[in-house]
Amino acid sequence: MGLADVTRSDVLAAVEEFDKLGRDAFLDKYGFGTARTYFLEVNGRRYDSKAIMGYAHGVSQGEFLRSGDFTGGEASVVHHLRRLGFVTRTHRNPPWTWDEVVLACALVRDNGWRWLTPNDPRVIELSELLQLYTTHPVEERGHDFRNPNGVARKTADIATQHPNYTGKPTNGGRYDREVLVAFLDRPVEMEQQAVAIRQAIVDESADPAEVADVDLDGLSAEEGRVLQRLHLRRERDPKLRRKVIEAYKRRHAVVACVACGFDFQKTYGERGADYIECHHRTPLHVSGPTRTRPEDLMLLCSNCHRMIHRSSPWLTPEELISLIERHRAD
């Protein structure tokens, strides 16, 4: 019998035994060391995931596994615990994304390009905001995820990258210097982006419906994923889409891509009637999270829409049309 045979009730029995003995006694009695990375969380308390699974195996299978009897980690123990409906946590925190670094950099800029301390109200407020950031799943967050100490540390990572800083830079993350340079080179644009990201996180936490899109997979666009998701969500509003198509049909004989002219109905018959995608003319970091009007959207075929969103920076509709015309002329 393997780990796959362990049931939810087996795990809860292990948790009960853990609570009865206490952590140190439980680990010592059943032959486990302390967990370094992955923990099971039940009712707000954390448990060493591998040790829990070893004991749980013995509850119904009759054999209590010790540490050397099986391999722990995400692919085995953590995967099965999640399949059983449990929440697992990692001791490590995920890397800071572009969105998060932009918000931290805005704090540093407002503080005269000096880092902030953990007890600063602005740091505490940003820490609370980042708890709402849905890009990082709960199970991938450490117990100290984006706490005030972590946010303050990130402001130091950014501040020590500033050209006027004379000391030794800290060992920061991937985007620290890149975001700092963007703020120095394009202050107005980056301020708009910071405001948009902040509002987008609040809006998305209130309505966290997932927007799946191939263009988000593996893409590290300058706008950041939270703005990309909201940008795609507003493009796909079905009521707005219908209004845009109806307005287009009043002015034109057919519904076609405004960039390349592709007409789905002409190619696919009635199956393609009124089939078209919408694209918002203005990226969120420029417009900010605003109420979208039908005139803000334009009709594109799926290919042209993908070409706009394919990489960062996104093409403007005018740039896409120019690209098509240039290559058609070759």
Q: What is the domain extent for residue 178?
A: 98-208
Please report whether residue 213 resides in a domain. Answer: no
Q: How confident is the model over 149-195, as pLDDT tens digits?
A: 999 999 999 999 999 999 999 988 889 999 999 999 999 989 988 88
Q: How confident is the model over 253-267, as pLDDT tens digits?
A: 789 999 999 999 999
Give just the sign of the alpha carbon dihedral 44, 46, 49, 55.
negative
Q: How confident is the model over 224-258, as pLDDT tens digits?
A: 556 666 656 655 667 778 888 888 888 887 899 99
How far apart, in whole angstroms, are the C-alpha atoms of residue 222 and residue 327?
Answer: 27
Please report whether residue 217 resides in a domain. Answer: no
User: Among residues of the chain, what percentage have pLDDT more than 70?
Assistant: 85
How far apart, in whole angstroms, are the C-alpha atoms of residue 118 and residue 96?
Answer: 17
Same domain, 120 and 143: yes
Same domain, 105 and 131: yes
CA-derived radius of gyration, the chain = 26
Please report whether residue 315 resides in a domain. Answer: yes
**286 in helix, strand or coil?**
helix
Domain end position, chosen among 50, 67, 90? 90
- Judged against a pLDDT cut of 80, whether residue 329 lies above it is answered with no
**Number of structural domains found in the chain:** 3
Same domain, 75 and 154: no
Give the distance between the most distant pair of CA atoms in the chain.
79
Please report whether residue 181 resides in a domain. Answer: yes
CB 297 within 8 A of CB 235: yes
Same domain, 188 and 278: no
Same domain, 73 and 115: no
Inter-CA distances, 233 with 49, 65, 118, 146, 283, Å? 37, 48, 35, 26, 12
Same domain, 172 and 251: no
Please report whether residue 126 resides in a domain. Answer: yes
Asked, as a colleague might, if the bond just before 187 is cis with ω within 30 of 0, I would say: no
Domain end position, chosen among 46, 71, 90? 90
DSSP codes of every residue in 161-202: TSTT--SPPP---TTHHHHHHHHHH-HHHHHHHHHHHHHHHH
How far apart, in whole angstroms, are the C-alpha atoms of residue 239 and residue 147?
Answer: 40
Please report whether residue 219 resides in a domain. Answer: no
Same domain, 162 and 65: no
Domain end position, chosen among 90, 112, 140? 90
